[in-house]
A and B are shown apart, each in its own frame.
Chain A
Amino acid sequence: MNAPASHSLPAIAIPERMLTFGLGGEHFAIDAQCVREIMEVPAITRVPGAPAFADGLLNVRGAIVPLADLAIVFGMERAAHNADTRIIVIEAAVEEEAATIGILADKVFDVASLDGAPVESPPQVGMKWRTDFIIGIARHAGRFVILPDLPRIFTECVGQIHRAAPHLPA
């Protein structure tokens, strides 16, 4: 369909409450309901041979949780960790199955209701990111907030991993 960019489409269903956080200079928002906890950055175990976007492992209360860096997904610079960096532990669907995943955030802002704010689907052109990875873009507190489609992103990346079948260099 040749929908023109930047016009409001039939309402995109967004969750009531969203957690907003900053990453790579942009603001993101995800469904607050799927957030299990927010923690400071613990020791991250690197997994040799794993794709850059998810090459870390964490211990979250005795469970081994993979660490995903959305910055890599969106082609942003990987930031160094500082005092504000947090890990948001979420429950998301990966290939239709529930999984626990940690994502990096440069800074966590708050849980807000985006209700009433107009949500637009991402424009087809002029976007530096893959549009199918984004549910939409909203305006909140004077800024553009990106709503990433996490299940889509994770499923796609896992699929890539399967296809690449990585092995370690000798």
Chain B
Amino acid sequence: MSDGADPVAAFRIEAGELLDQVERALLDLTGAPAHRGLIDEVFRGLHTLKGSGAMFGFDALARFTHHCESAFDRVRKGQAPASRALIDVVLSARDHMQALIDAGNSSDPALDGAGEAILARLASAVATAPAAAAMDAAPAPEAAPPEAEAGWQIRFRLPEGALANGSNPLALLDELRDLGPCTVVCRMGELPALDAFAPAECHAAWEVTWAAADAGEISREAIEDVFLFLIDDMELTITRPGAPAATADAPPLPADTAEGPAAPRPAGPPRESVRVQAERLDELMNRVGELVIAQSRLELLAMAQGQVDAASLRAVSEDIQRLSAELRDTSMALRMMPVAHLFGRFRRLIHDLAQETGKSIELVTDGEATEVDKTVIERLADPMIHVIRNSCDHGLEPAGERAAAGKPATGRIVLSARQAGGEVLIAIRDDGRGINRARVRAKAEAQGLIAPGAPLADAELLQMIFAPGFSTAAAITNLSGRGVGMDVVKRSIETLRGTIDIDSTEGDGTTITLHLPLTLAIIECMLVRVGAGRYAIPLSAVEECLELPATEVAGTRRRNFLDVRGELVPYLRLHDSFASDHPADLYQKVIVVAQGRGRVGLVVDQILGNTQTVIKSLSRFHAGVSAFSGATILGDGSVALILDVGALIAGAQKARRTRGDRPAESAGEAA
């Protein structure tokens, strides 16, 4: 009766986690090589992997892990130190184990070869010959020579404490009876005196006899097998009445390993799973429960004969609205995972990078508890790896240079995460040499991205780094490749509807900040009307709303600035941007949004209110219109476009530039 659960799939997931634990412990061990707790942790992990692996048919894994476990056992016994070299080999071994798990039961000579190589390194690291394969198939149970026509007679007595320890003489007798029809006689002859009589002990002995006619099929092993668990401690005599030479207690049987477990099924794609906090699930259930109640109230109202009481309807509607919002939040919370998960992966990366570059690098993390949607985490991994690689490869200077600059010998990478408004900010900071403006400039000019000598703000110069094919690395190392990293990184972040910022001080270091929306699918928006169309502006971008001063209403297109408490805020008339042929409202509103480091106003005809919207992507036909990041269906069934504020403004700036406006206006553009 299967309940759809697949132990092999569950094992794969578990094994992945075990391997992560082992890796963590190994990395920690590099800093504290004599730490008993960590050594034990590594050993336990390997041991469990070996046992469970064999259980689910991962024979190659079990064999390989067995050798690793034996080698690490030497460390555990203090016979070999947890040297850096050893830790590195075991880290490689851990990677190999993951590969073996992924490969399932299919054999791969290349994989086997790699495994052998690792074991060889392992052996030399603990300075011992690799243990002979201890996982040989168990020797076949000795077949008893067929005996001539004779019965069996056994006499047995259980060891002290057998009953307390769960042995059941009646079950044993049943098993013996299953072997064949027999006579059972209970011998009470050796009962101790009353004062020595322990009621919980089994003082009886039994004799069981099979006549020759019934004993034909019964082998000695079969009888001894019944007493498998007790045979070492009990009294047992087995004789063949009617045959010469009775034998004393037979030696214990080898363990029953003749039949192995079934081979694992070919690896299908693992079903995705998510670790979820139990409280969140409870909350979800509560909300659903309340929603069901609200729904039945609604049903009653709907079925009511005659007039529906407007107040009741409103009440139910508000309840449902509240519950949907709570359900939405709770469901989204289920998908949230702390970034610690992600940051943890980079420990190994930095460790390896330090090896490869020969630099001393430390990783510091901050805000690991910050939670982010699961999909975002998955898609962040690659871009962040790129950025970290860049920092380690190009950003951080080699030890000599650092010393000359008065910096500590160990380079430092700081990963931090925090929530701010509707965004999550993830920053990667290195204390390396920073971005060399002159080199970027030269490269940009060489690639024709800017005209030589053309004035360019520092922020815009740094943005050149994201141009495709851009790389200022003098030597293209193996690590970061040809600088295809950064433009791909930018695109990946943009796919997540996020943005990426660079901040860099020459000689001091570089910080890359990723701005990510809190969730992919649902956002809180401000609904506005421009002309005949309705649009949604993500609330996280909105800072404030103002009335467009009467003076500006009739203003010319040239000077679009507002004075907001002394600050000059440029604005964009969406009516014009959207080429609406609907006459503009008399009193228009300005929505001030944050953009980059500045603020911009968006002029709309009417503010319709806030709403939560499910973001739907635009079709391929409209994907090119960068001003809109998606669309949503409003309560009345109509479609509203969701503004991509950044792209909208960038596009307007570009258009203005193309129009060849005078520099005075360009200066008014937000940074």
Contacts and interface: CB of A to CB of B under 8 A. Distances in A.
Interface of A: 42-43, 45-51, 54, 57-59, 62-66, 68, 94-95, 97, 99-101, 154, 157-158, 161-162, 164-170
A47 B659 contact: no
A63 B630 CA distance: 12
Interface centre among B532, B616, B617, B653 (most CB of A within 10 A): B616
Interface string B516-554: 000000000000000011100000000000000000000
Contacts of A100: 619
A170 B652 contact: yes
Contact of B621 (A48, A68, A170): A68
20 contacts: A45-B534, A48-B578, A48-B579, A48-B580, A50-B622, A54-B622, A57-B631, A57-B639, A64-B616, A66-B621, A68-B621, A97-B620, A161-B624, A162-B624, A167-B651, A167-B652, A170-B652, A170-B655, A170-B656, A170-B659
Contacts of B655: 167-170
Nearest to B616: A64
B58 interface: no
Given A46-B533, A54-B621, 4 more contacts: A45-B641, A47-B625, A100-B619, A167-B651
Interface centre among B576, B579, B620, B656 (most CB of A within 10 A): B620
B533 A45 contact: yes
Closest 10 CB pairs of A and B: A48-B578, A167-B651, A45-B639, A170-B655, A66-B619, A54-B621, A161-B624, A49-B625, A66-B621, A168-B577
B473 to A, nearest CB: 29
B221 to A, nearest CB: 65
Given A59-B639, A168-B651, A170-B572, A64 B631 contact: yes
A168 to B, nearest CB: 5
A16 B654 CA distance: 51
Nearest to A44: B639
B648 interface: yes
Contacts of B627: 48-49, 167-168
Contacts of B625: 47-50, 166, 168
A64 B633 contact: yes
Contact of A168 (B578, B621, B631, B633): B578
B65 to A, nearest CB: 44
Contact of A59 (B617, B633, B654): B633
A168 B648 contact: yes
B472 interface: no
Interface centre among B576, B622, B651 (most CB of A within 10 A): B622
A158 B616 CA distance: 19
Contact of A45 (B572, B621, B638, B652): B638
Interface in B498-531: none
A61 to B, nearest CB: 10
A99 B624 CA distance: 16
B622 A94 contact: no
B637 interface: yes
Nearest to A46: B533
Given A48-B627, A168-B651, A170-B656, A58 B621 contact: no
A66 B618 CA distance: 8
Interface in B474-503: none
Contacts of B533: 45-46, 48
Interface residues on B, range: 35 or more
Nearest to B572: A170
A46 B653 CA distance: 23
A57 B620 CA distance: 12
Contact of A47 (B572, B622, B637, B648): B622
A158 B654 CA distance: 23
A79 to B, nearest CB: 19
Given A161-B624, A168-B578, A43 B637 contact: yes
B577 A45 contact: no
Contacts of B640: 45
A62 B637 CA distance: 8
A148 to B, nearest CB: 16
Given A66-B621, A157-B621, A169-B577, A47 B641 contact: yes
A57 B639 CA distance: 7
A95 B628 CA distance: 22
Nearest to A168: B577
B627 to A, nearest CB: 6
B654 A167 contact: yes
A50 B621 contact: yes
A63 B637 CA distance: 10
Interface string B631-671: 10100011111000000100111111001000000000000
B578 A64 contact: no
B631 A166 contact: no
Given A50-B622, A54-B622, A169 B579 contact: yes
A155 to B, nearest CB: 9
Contacts of A63: 616
Contact of B620 (A58, A94, A165, A166): A94
A170 B576 contact: yes
Contact of A99 (B576, B620, B633): B620
Contacts of B638: 43, 45, 59
A140 to B, nearest CB: 30
A49 B579 CA distance: 8
Interface in B170-185: none
Nearest to A48: B578
